Structure 1
């Protein structure tokens, strides 16, 4: 007897039209940017291949340089904003280098910037033994020299928008006061050597400033670097709403919009009204006079310290009965 075969027929549902999937897909795509935001790529500013001497590809110097840049990149993950090191001990092949990240940046941002800058530097300066590169929030440099110049090369960058002529006098005086105040405070800092601040230009316009020096620099060297950068503003960026000056040892920047993470506010400098149409010499003096005053005070401070040291030395010699040496010390003339 034949077993009857039973056939089960399953009804396959119809797929909805594609238009019903379009809206959820778009929403998921948009939400992915909110939940998993993409990191902004580091922004290149400028660079300089500063040494005329070259190294040979695949040489010991290149090996040391590659290792140095690797060290810089890896140490940028350690939560520090400044790091320097040297690879190699023998003169022709030794290379020293450092990175400096803006003090208000997060560790991840600092690392991304240093990593990109290190790679970019070897591309832009493929065989130079000394080079430097600036990005928006970091700087990387290396050299085969024992002494690193902190003032040259210098790069300036300014916005295309200018301050209205009627407001230019006040803008220049407030800007000079802001930058000089920040530079003085940063240079006297024992560790960070980084300051930000803001002042009100008008009831609706605020001027923001930032200065930073490499932490390894002394008070004198940091001051000299800042003053050099500030003094160049009238020549490069007079009347511009925003600008930055980049030096190997320091950098300064100002804008009429917030560009850093800080809540520090400086009091608005007192600005005396002056007749309009000031000459270029007057504008330059607005920046230079505070610089000269600061350097004069610094010089007097050094002379005072030298006098105290000479006096202490003389007293020490008297206590130890070296009477013959006292007459010689009295004859020392310290100029100041």
Structure 2
């Protein structure tokens, strides 16, 4: 009986451990929070009240909508404009979790600033006291990369530019402003899956979506600022997302060697098939 209880307790502990690991892996990944320097509000004032109402509405929409924009308040000095965008490849529950966490943490990171944006890998959330968030220069923005490289950087960069250009065109031409693909690349024995993802907020027109994504991509090929030749890059702005990653695969097996050529017997002096005879003498013979 005691042994059975011990086994049962061990099983429950292992089950709890695996559930915990799965839960931790599913948590949104925070990238960066940015607090604008355009002005502050008072802690108990009308702007804070409108901001909390805005945050509540955005959070309530996050399970059913990938993007949502809302205006809270009517006073010319206390109106708050905000929106969020979830990445197009995440589930509804992940979107909701990401926005819930973002809405809580942005107020911690920027406790009195009238404008702020918080980026997660799966979503971003922003608010401002201006009627529209700036789209003229797509800043602020955040960049991430990893310093691992492909063996043939020039070929990788050319392939990446071609594939990302196709994705950008697909995204700004679609109703969702979202596109992704995984394309296998094989070159001189190096094999990898190149995954790309691009997305714009739906409140942009097609031209501004195109401009935002092209601007984001251009930052990835700037060797001084970011990511030239790197196997991974992520660029998020206030209005669009762009990311790519090369996942290296095992190199293909080499082809089997060709069969050996058939043996050929020469018909020379040492060949048994030769008409010429041969002789040898044992030691001791006369």
Q: Which of 242, 245, 250 does residue 252 from structure 1 map onto? A: 242
The whole-number CA distance in structure 1 between the counterparts of 2:37 and 2:247 is 37
Alignment match, 2:231: 241
Does residue 1:22 correspond to 2:6, yes or no?
Answer: yes
The whole-number CA distance in structure 2 between the counterparts of 1:249 and 1:35 is 35
The whole-number CA distance in structure 1 between the counterparts of 2:227 and 2:58 is 33
Alignment match, 1:121: 106
Q: Which of 151, 155, 170 does residue 142 from structure 2 map onto? A: 155
Alignment match, 1:139: 124
Does residue 1:168 correspond to 2:153, yes or no?
Answer: yes
Q: Which of 89, 92, 114 does residue 74 from structure 2 map onto? A: 89
Alignment of 1:267-278 (within 5 A): none
TM-score, normalised via structure 1 length: 0.67
Q: Which of 48, 69, 72 does residue 58 from structure 2 map onto? A: 72
The whole-number CA distance in structure 1 between the counterparts of 2:37 and 2:7 is 58
The whole-number CA distance in structure 2 between the counterparts of 1:255 and 1:65 is 36
The whole-number CA distance in structure 2 between the counterparts of 1:48 and 1:34 is 35
Contact 1:212–1:250 (8 Å) recurs in 2: yes
Q: Which of 209, 223, 235 does residue 210 from structure 2 map onto? A: 223
Q: Which of 22, 42, 47 does residue 28 from structure 2 map onto? A: 42
Does residue 1:196 correspond to 2:158, yes or no?
Answer: no
Does residue 1:56 correspond to 2:46, yes or no?
Answer: no
Contact 2:78–2:129 (8 Å) recurs in 1: yes
The whole-number CA distance in structure 2 between the counterparts of 1:98 and 1:153 is 15
The whole-number CA distance in structure 1 between the counterparts of 2:208 and 2:19 is 46
Structure 2: 5+ residue stretches without partners:
249-286
Give SS of 2:234's match: strand
Q: Write out per-residue CA displacement over residues 293-336 of structure 1, whole angstroms, 9 at most, x where no aligned residue.
A: xxxxxxxxxxxxxxxxxxxxxxxxxxxxxxxxxxxxxxxxxxxx
Give SS of 1:252's match: strand
Q: Write out per-residue CA displacement over residues 162-187 of structure 1, whole angstroms, 9 at most, x where no aligned residue.
A: 223xx101100011111111111101
Structure 1: 5+ residue stretches without partners:
1-15, 259-336
Inter-CA distance 49–34: structure 2 relative to 1 (3 Å threshold) = closer
Inter-CA distance 180–115: structure 2 relative to 1 (3 Å threshold) = same
Q: Write out per-residue CA displacement over residues 33-73 of structure 1, whole angstroms, 9 at most, x where no aligned residue.
A: 66895362211011211242111111100000011001111
Does residue 1:232 correspond to 2:216, yes or no?
Answer: no
Instruction: State the structure with more CA Rg.
Output: 2
The whole-number CA distance in structure 2 between the counterparts of 1:86 and 1:257 is 41
Structure 1 consecutive aligned stretches of length 4 or more whose deviation exceeds 3 Å? 31-39
Alignment match, 1:212: 199
CA RMSD of aligned residues (A): 1.9
Aligned length: 238
TM-score, normalised via structure 2 length: 0.78
Contact 2:81–2:132 (8 Å) recurs in 1: no
The Cα of 1:204 is off from its aligned counterpart by 3.0
**Which one has the bigger helix percentage?**
1
Q: Write out per-residue CA displacement over residues 206-236 of structure 1, whole angstroms, 9 at most, x where no aligned residue.
A: 1110000001110111111011101111121
The whole-number CA distance in structure 2 between the counterparts of 1:148 and 1:224 is 15
Contact 2:143–2:233 (8 Å) recurs in 1: yes
